[in-house]
Structure 1
Amino acid sequence: MTQSPGVLLTVLAFLGVIGPLVFLHELGHYLAGRLFGVKAEVFAIGFGRELFGLTDRRGTRWTFGWLPLGGYVRFAGDLNAGSEPDPAWLALPAEERAQTFQAKPLWQRAIIVAAGPVANFIVAVMILAAFAMLVGVNRTPPVAGTVQPGSAAASAGIRAGDRIHTVDGRAVDDFGDIAEYVIARPAVPIRFEVERDGRMRTITAIPAVQYKADRFGNRYAFGRMGITSPTPVVERVSLVEAPGVAVDQTLGIMRTMVDGIGQIITGLRPVSELGGPLRIAQFSGEAASAGLTSLAYLIALISINLGFINLLPVPMLDGGHLLFYGIEALRRKPVGAEVQQWAYRSGLVLLLSLMLFVTFNDLAAFGLWRGWRG
């Protein structure tokens, strides 16, 4: 029997996850802007009609929109919420012009833009560091404890006691690295570099495809080699060591995300796995019903996702602005206004199209289209 966290818990959990993460992302931009003397005209959480807001003594309007799926900081000198440059900033009086985003040196603008994603990564690192200190980290040696007869590993020639050094050329530090890599690659050939009796050898194996359903009825495909680990080793780390461990874990999660996108692009994984706000809301409700630990870990994952996605080189996203700044640094002059306007509009169309697509995927995952077909 599947369980459901309920609509109310799902909505509250979603707002409790997305709202603070969006706020902290935009707060990163805001604080970096203040550091360099840029005036923030609007700090918005959510889109659409303003539900409520206030204007502080610096002249910044803090607003809350009815659609809590994002946010933005509009600095002086910005034309719109996408931080498209406003040509009118050049006509401002010198004192006001000095407070605009466009008047700042290139390196300062780059820091202000990058501060949003950085804030998301800092949130994730703090959560993962807390887990490392309180729960511990997996340090089980990357050794095949046992190999199940008839499994993918046995068929490929992997034996108990083999020490696995790399998977597809990627170094592994513990058994968890192997499991994480294999799970994400059902039916995909993997090249293992293993050490046996002091000698290195290369073994190629194809993980079997298996399916798992959680208590909420979600069904997932995953890869399975049929290798069990030796005695698990989980160690708590010190306050000094925890940040470094958390950074490594954050980079590992980002690498897994890049792998997943690559698999979707190359057709190894279906595009139906791309999810949007509805599925985030679903996962938030499920994590909240599973307990505070599950919810905290989900917050870390989503925070990494927000930071990573915003760094993609797509106009309208932070990564698109940084791409323009990189080009400006090489050319020693800004990209032309017409080119930027065309790029921002194209980026907006791309983002809206992607939002529609992932929403369609979400509804399909919920069985809506099957219901319509009867």
Structure 2
Amino acid sequence: MLENPGFLLTVLAFVAVIGPLVFVHEFGHYIVGRWCGVKAEAFSIGFGPELLAWVDKRGTRWRLAALPLGGYVRFKGDMNAASQTDPAWLEMSAQDRAESFPAKPVWQRAAIVAAGPAVNFLFAILLLGGLAYWKGYPVSPPVVQQVAAASAAEKAGLRPGDRIVSIMGRQIDSFTDISPIVSLRPGEALPYVIERDGQRTAMTIAAGERIEKDRFGNIYRLGQLGVMSDKVEFRQVALWEIPVIGTVRTGQIFVSAMDGLGQIITGRRSVKELGGPLKIADVSGQAAMMGLVGFLTFMALISINLGFINLLPIPMLDGGHLLFYGIEAVQRRPVSPQVQEWAYRSGLALLMMVMVLVTFNDLSSFGLWKSLSGLIG
């Protein structure tokens, strides 16, 4: 277990992770907006009171705010940081309307909105691919070398030499592909395809359960198959392979994120496992203590999750805007202002509820409620 990184390192690591990721996300919106001829009136990293600000020659106010928990680009014609359309944009001069966001065709507006999450994924692809180029790419055939006694694998009849071809219909190319699928599903019966002596066999295996505790005493249930392999090699990666390997690894993490969210929604995992800014800050500090590779890998993970969360079809998020633009493209007219207003208010309420929940979970994971109950008792 890693030592406590301390408050100062935790804060610095959190800012070092979130600051660049928020910047690249918002820069994606900004640069595609510029290409589409839309004027950005403000580019903000963080919310709340300004710490630093300047205006460039294009009239964009670049600002650094006190709460580094997000950011926004406010384009001409936007009413607020959530990019709700300002009804007054129709009263602008023809020149101003031409460079306003609402005046652009729906495909351009969709491209500008989608650019934020897209750049987060691109950032992760380059980061993970770059790390593979720097440190080498782990290669481990999905062939069982050892089977743990009394494990789920032994009970299912797996033997050394068996090759795991697929799990849940997902192709297994490397031994490292097994854990992301199995660890999220303790006790769940999953379909496997196993190759033994050249013959493929379909079987169902329910993973065992491994209990882990973090340094605050929080308990996590993880699936465990009980197979091992010691044949791991790090092969050199060519420069042209960086985007390929980065895309593959980003795709794997993205699928795991969708799996985790789906399990929480369907009740197979507890909502207590949802973490917020405080938990990210805590893990940021721990990642910083693991060295540069561990820290950059964690940054890539957060970048993927940031892109994923922003694509959720919730008003106030990029995915909600894209949903409206999809409806507009189909019905050939914008969604009515009344419906948009209702949707934005509902989306804001949902996001506030989620923020309260994850903050409650964060404080619980740090043992605050136990400490308070002890003081009261």
Match of 2:345 in 1: 345
For residues 321 and 154 of structure 2, what CA distance do their matches in structure 1 show?
A: 50
Shift of 1:3: 2.0
Correspondence list, 1:84-233, <5 A: 84-213=84-213, 220-229=220-229, 231-233=231-233
Equivalent pair of 1:165/1:194 in contact (CA under 8 Å):
yes
How big is the shift at 1:211? 2.5
- Equivalent AA in structure 2 for residue 176 of structure 1: T
Deviation of 1:219 after TM superposition, in Å, equals: 5.2
- Taking the aligned partners of 1:111 and 1:93, their CA distance within structure 2 comes to 25
Q: Which ranges of structure 1 fall in alignment gaps of 5 or more residues?
A: none
Query: 2 CA distance for matches of 1:92 and 1:180?
Result: 53
Structure 2: how far apart are the matches of 1:39 and 1:246? Answer: 33
Residue in 2 that maps onto 1:368: 368
The 1-side partners of 2:178 and 2:106 are apart by 42
User: What is the one-letter code of the residue matched to 2:42?
Assistant: V
* Equivalent position SS for 1:103: coil
> Counterpart of 2:273?
273
Once residues 117 and 291 of structure 1 are traced to their aligned partners in structure 2, the CA distance between those partners, rounded to angstroms, is: 27
Provide the residue aligned with 1:292 in structure 2: 292
For 2:287 and 2:203, locate their aligned partners in 1 and report how far apart those are by CA, in whole Å. 38
1:113 alignment partner AA: V
Cα offset, 1:200, TM superposition: 1.9
Give distance in 1, aligned partners of 2:218 and 2:287: 13
One-letter code of the match for 1:211? I
Q: What's the offset of the Cα at 1:62? A: 1.2
- 3-state SS in 2 of match to 1:262: helix
Match of 2:143, SS? coil
Aligned letter for 2:74?
A: R
Q: Show CA shifts across 1:335-365 (max 9, x none).
A: 1111111111111111111111100000000
Q: 1:224-247 deviations in whole A, cap 9, x for unaligned?
A: 211112522332211111211110
Q: Deviations over 1:257-298 (max 9, x none)?
A: 000111112222111110000000001111112211111111
* Structure 1 residue 54: Cα displacement: 1.3
Deviation at 1:317, TM superposition (A): 0.5
TM-score, with normalisation over the residues of structure 1? Answer: 0.96
Residue 68 (structure 1) aligned with residue 68 (structure 2): yes
| Partner Cα distance (1:229, 1:179) in 2 | 12
Equivalents in 1 of 2:323, 2:98: separation in Å? 24
- 1:320 is the counterpart of 2:320: yes
SS at match of 1:161: coil
CA deviation after TM superposition for structure 1 residue 315, in Å: 0.5
SS in 2 for 1:212: strand
Q: In the alignment, is residue 15 of structure 1 matched against residue 15 of structure 2?
A: yes
CA contact (8 A) 2:218 2:365 kept: no
Secondary structure of the structure 2 residue equivalent to 1:241: helix
Structure 1 residue 218, shift from structure 2 partner: 6.4
After TM superposition, give the deviation of residue 305 of structure 1 in Å.
Answer: 0.8
**Structure 1 pair 155–267 and aligned structure 2 pair: CA distance change class (3 A):** same
- For 2:148 and 2:17, how far apart are their aligned partners in 1? 41
Q: Once superposed, what is the RMSD of the aligned Cα atoms?
A: 1.6
SS state of the match for residue 102, structure 2?
A: helix
* Cα offsets for 1:76-135 (capped at 9, x unmatched): 011111000111111111001101001111111111111111111111111101111122
Q: Which amino acid aligns with 1:344?
A: Y
Which residue type is aligned with residue 354 of structure 1?
V
Name the counterpart of 1:50: 50
1:204, 1:15 → 2: CA distance?
A: 45
Identity %: 55
Q: Which residue of 2 aligns with 1:260?
A: 260
Q: Equivalents in 1 of 2:62, 2:192: separation in Å?
A: 54
- The amino acid that maps onto 1:231 is K
User: Counterpart amino acid of 2:356?
Assistant: L
* Contact 1:143–1:230, Cα closer than 8 Å, also in 2: no
C-alpha change, 1:2 and 1:58, in structure 2 (3 Å) is closer
Please report how far the alpha carbon of residue 42 of structure 1 lies from its aligned counterpart in structure 2 after TM superposition: 1.0
Contact 1:44–1:63 (Cα < 8 Å) also in 2? yes
Q: Deviations over 1:184-214 (max 9, x none)?
A: 2222222211112222212222222112346
User: Residues of 1 paired with 2:353 and 2:231: CA distance?
Assistant: 48
Moved more, 244-253 or 44-53: 44-53
The 8 Å contact of residues 144 and 162 in structure 2, kept in 1 or not, is answered as yes
Unpaired segments of 5 or more residues in structure 2? none
Report the residue type matching 2:143 in the other structure.
Answer: V
Task: In structure 1, give the amino acid aligned to 2:283.
Answer: F
Q: CA–CA distance in 1 between the matches of 2:67 and 2:149?
A: 54
